[in-house]
Chain A
């Protein structure tokens, strides 16, 4: 088991809403002590150096096994998670076959055990059989087998009638429906956010209304369901537009049981990247031609993702939603793909960004730029997602003295360059390739064991 002592680091503890200088002791995998330092002991310890946080929880990743092991396996996905600082990963069920019955769950659990990774793998079951949208999957059996929620992610739950049934049925099981909100009638052939950039590049627009319309529908259905089944819960994943987040904000203030997450790429990147800009959302104007900001070739398929990279004001809305608590969590939507699916024409390329290893770097970019307090960012990566998972979360996502250590140690003063070789995921489809990110992960400890150790540290 793991022994680790880190003295004079910056500890971020969202459970106690506290951050400051401190030290930790892990012995035989157990977090034996966490000591806050003060006075002379704390001198010189700042938030800009080595940081210790509880291990991160990702509500949304695609591990591709079974069915597309060329893109990712459970083993490589969990290794990548450790590199990203994540100790708990929720796997989406859009595998082949889909995770719509317990047999598939046994397969991926077997793969996780065989990988030897200490990262906790949680599974999300499909809402509908085969994710086809027609009839409910084996929700009760999946719940008994231990899934943490249901989603047809990759697709929305198309039928409002099915969604209504699923919310009620899953609600009674104590589990959330996790919807990917997209009105597909508005996104047929869509390639990039519908706006100035897509107009100039001649790409099929992906309108804001497609997300907002779906969120509006989902909330209306939820409102209908909770009258009869008050335990129904809806989680909206990867919200990317100010309009959709405003709808959620209003629904929450009206008391509806809805939660949501935003992704690192939607808060830090914009559709300017499709045109070849490589600047952060908060530095973007939306017109990279006027700003002479085009530094890469346009149409890089690494920028193609669903929902699409949006306008700077949408990215700002994602940050604002984290700040005011409308967004509960940052989820990566880690979507590894092979070159076969990505080294093709933009309009033919698969949607998705391999993002679980770059999530922390993107979030820290927002922190460094002063747009997101560090404590708030860590909260959205730890207790935020744990609360979305509710009782099925494996732990509180805070520091637990006397329990197996579950934490990440990263150095904000140390930058690392994203390269195909530096990513442990099989998916090298990152628009950040070649860029330097702050916050190199030094150690990730999951369940008392090393999930990642930076070579040479």
Chain B
């Protein structure tokens, strides 16, 4: 779970696999059996993911965007929460690697008949799954799956806890647009931090990458983060928390808006969507406080006109569709890396 000894970027260079061939045919410098969270990824792990994603981007640019690397492997995509973009992104990624893909939408399976997660995972494994991509509304659910499943579990988002592939595609997108590094760059995550797995995973990856990270939202939705910011992520990687949107956006290099859900009004955390849009919505006027050309991001799906103005989402500074494209490449990279280290790291948390 902790940061490991970092061999440095040069060493990582040597470890980047040739993604055209099966991962088990070459040494891959990746020691994690599962990807459940990003808190245990070292900076060299992050570097390896980024370099491998570069290689996958190259694959995606080919006339036929497909390699045989995972031929014969079965990837099961088990989603307990409605999702289109992430589920399809994983499916496309797995198919680009020539894996066999099984999709289970939990709402239509025996899960609704009361089958436990553990039983479902056993069944999926008995049906031949080598890798399990999972989304669940309860924080920590993939850890339970990882205890049972014989292969690799890839967390596709659990409760408020983590969304590792989203954070990694966000990091990839930022690095690419900011000249290869986010170190020292002011990055703002704006909105509902409390309920956001995207924000939590981004805290780990962006602070590890040396960004000047700011979290901003209404007091009810940044609750608890001040204590984290004060301690820092892992060994003192500090970040900032504020309810003052002007302070947060001032001279920012990147602004990432998070989705606001209607149920936040029902639970008494916000007066109204209208008030949220007026006070925290990412409008053109507000974006003008950031650096000229600052990147606009959103993990989707968007409520245009609430947390982000339509003209900003579709504007010249928006990299939202690039996030989607990079998402496929990052997920290809992770499926590939996990396949290569299948079974070598027994710690479920690692």
Contacts and interface: CB of A to CB of B under 8 A. Distances in A.
B139 A200 contact: no
B144 A345 contact: yes
Nearest to A275: B1
Interface stretch (B48-56, B231-239, B285-293, B330-338): B231-239
Given A194-B224, A294-B1, A296-B349, A202 B234 contact: no
A202 B141 CA distance: 12
B159 A199 contact: no
A195 B224 contact: yes
B302 interface: no
A348 B138 contact: yes
A139 to B, nearest CB: 37
Interface string A342-374: 011111100000000000000000000000000
B138 A346 contact: yes
Contacts of B118: 343-344
Contacts of A191: 139
A202 B36 CA distance: 13
Nearest to B232: A290
Of A199, A202, A203, A340, most buried by chain B (CB within 10 Å of CB) is: A202
A347 B348 CA distance: 19
A199 B349 contact: no
A289 interface: yes
Contacts of B233: 289
Contact of A294 (B136, B160, B161, B349): B349
Given A195-B227, A196-B227, A297-B348, A292 B2 contact: yes
Q: Is the interface of A mostly helix, strand, loop or mixed?
A: loop
Given A347-B139, A348-B138, A298 B349 contact: yes
B228 interface: yes
B207 to A, nearest CB: 11
A414 interface: no
A202 B348 contact: no
Contacts of B2: 289, 292, 294
A294 B136 CA distance: 23
Given A289-B39, A294-B1, A198 B143 contact: no
Interface string A187-220: 0000100111011111111000000000000000
Given A298-B143, A348-B138, A202 B160 contact: yes
A202 B139 contact: yes
Nearest to B201: A202
Contacts of B325: none
Given A343-B118, A344-B117, A347-B159, A200 B228 contact: yes
Contacts of B347: 297
Given A298-B143, A299-B140, A347-B138, A276 B1 contact: yes
B144 A290 contact: no
Contacts of A202: 139, 158-162, 197, 200
Interface in A264-313: 276, 287, 289-290, 292, 294, 296-299
A296 B141 CA distance: 15
Interface string A82-93: 000000000000
A290 B39 CA distance: 11
Interface string A320-345: 00000000000000000000100111
Interface residues of A, number: 29
B116 interface: yes
B139 A199 contact: no
Given A276-B1, A345-B117, A196 B140 contact: no
Contacts of B116: 340, 343-344
Given A276-B349, A289-B39, A294-B349, A201 B140 contact: yes
B224 A287 contact: no
Contact of A200 (B136, B200, B348): B200
Nearest to A205: B224
B235 A290 contact: yes
B147 interface: yes
A191 B144 CA distance: 16
Nearest to A199: B224
B176 to A, nearest CB: 28
B231 A201 contact: no
Contacts of B144: 299, 343-346
Nearest to A340: B116
Contacts of B224: 194-196, 198-199, 205
Nearest to A189: B267
Interface in B85-135: 116-118
A340 B227 CA distance: 35
A297 B234 contact: no
Contact of A297 (B117, B139, B143, B160): B143
A199 B197 contact: no
Nearest to A344: B116
Contacts of B161: 201-203
B228 A199 contact: yes
Nearest to B193: A199
B276 interface: no
Contact of B231 (A196, A204, A294, A298): A196
B140 A298 contact: yes
Given A202-B159, A289-B233, A196 B228 contact: yes
Contact of B139 (A196, A287, A299, A344): A299
Contacts of A276: 1, 349
B139 A203 contact: yes
B193 to A, nearest CB: 9
Contacts of B348: 297
Of B118, B144, B158, B347, most buried by chain A (CB within 10 Å of CB) is: B144
A319 B143 CA distance: 33
Interface string B148-185: 00000000001111100000000000000000000000
B147 A201 contact: no
Interface of B: 1-2, 37, 39, 116-118, 136, 138-141, 143-144, 146-147, 158-162, 197, 200, 224-225, 227-228, 231-236, 347-349
Given A289-B2, A298-B143, 6 more contacts: A196-B228, A199-B228, A287-B231, A297-B348, A344-B144, A345-B144
Interface of A: 191, 194-196, 198-205, 276, 287, 289-290, 292, 294, 296-299, 340, 343-348
16 contacts: A194-B224, A196-B227, A199-B228, A202-B139, A203-B160, A287-B231, A289-B233, A294-B349, A297-B146, A298-B37, A299-B139, A344-B118, A344-B144, A345-B117, A346-B138, A348-B138
